[in-house]
Amino acid sequence: MPEIDWIKLSLLCLAGAASPGLSWLMILTMSISRGTAVGVYGAIGHGLGITVFALSTIFGLSALLFVLPALSQVLNWSGIGLLAFFGYRLVRSGHPPLPESLTTQSGLIAGFGIAIVNPKVLVFFLAIFGPFVNPSHSLQNHLLMGFLAGAIDTTVYLGVAYFAHAARGLLKSNIMIGINQTIGALLLVSALMLGIKII
């Protein structure tokens, strides 16, 4: 793949990871409410999920969804359901729906799960990442594309986790509740808009 395409792909991956959304919220709140280590593991798990999604796109997700379009609906509605669930819980209580005993290992699993069911990730890889996939590229080239997406995502979310740790003292609980409730309302609106778009 030409060097300019690698640069374009890197910038698109960076833009996708840096745009705030459900994943940002979860990694941020993991770090603030459960500790930096949990947030870091969540970021690593999210990066692994992105790597799996990228490699799946490269090695057949696009073709699979073409053959089984109903799978796209299942993934979309699962993501919308997750957005609505988190949004409702945040609006109602102002606290993220995270287990009280969330460990570093479960943070890793939670981060991975968020990446897999996030509808933004599905849309990104099928609509934006997909065009960079070329059957004529070597196996090594395809693998590098997948790991590049995962590495960029992990780096961005590690930054989010450490930012949350640094800002923890500045974010008083009542301020965080207000911020979470606002984000929850935005998540509910996003879920509604995505649902209307699908229907």
| Secondary structure of 137-171 in HEC code, one letter for each residue | CCHHHHHHHHHHHHHHHHHHHHHHHHHHHHHCCCC
Q: Are 36 and 164 in contact (CB under 8 A)?
A: yes
Q: Which of the given ranges, 23-27, 53-57, 97-101, 182-186, has the highest pLDDT on average?
A: 53-57
What does the domain layout of the chain look like in residue ranges? 21-73+96-177
Q: Are 42 and 115 in contact (CB under 8 A)?
A: no
* CA atoms within 13 Å, Cβ hemisphere of 102: 26
> Which tens digit of pLDDT belongs to each residue from 112-165?
888 877 767 777 776 666 667 776 778 888 889 889 999 999 999 999 888 887
Is the pLDDT at 100 greater than 90? The verdict is no
**pTM tops 0.75, yes or no:** no
| Secondary structure of 44-105 in HEC code, one letter for each residue | HHHHHHHHHHHHHHHHHHHHHHHHCHHHHHHHHHHHHHHHHHHHHHHHHHCCCCCCCCCCHH
Is the pLDDT at 5 greater than 80? The verdict is yes
Mean pLDDT of 57-66: 70
Is the pLDDT at 102 greater than 60? The verdict is no
CA pair distance 105, 110, nearest whole angstrom: 9
Predicted confidence at residue 197, as pLDDT, reads: 72
Predicted confidence at residue 174, as pLDDT, reads: 64
Place of tokens 């959304």: 21
* DSSP assignment letter at 10: H
Is the pLDDT at 39 greater than 80? The verdict is yes
- The fraction of the chain above a pLDDT of 70, given in percent, is 75
* Interacting residues of 82 by C-beta distance below 8 A, sequence separation 6+: 22, 117, 118
Predicted confidence at residue 26, as pLDDT, reads: 78
* DSSP assignment letter at 20: -
CA pair distance 138, 143, nearest whole angstrom: 9
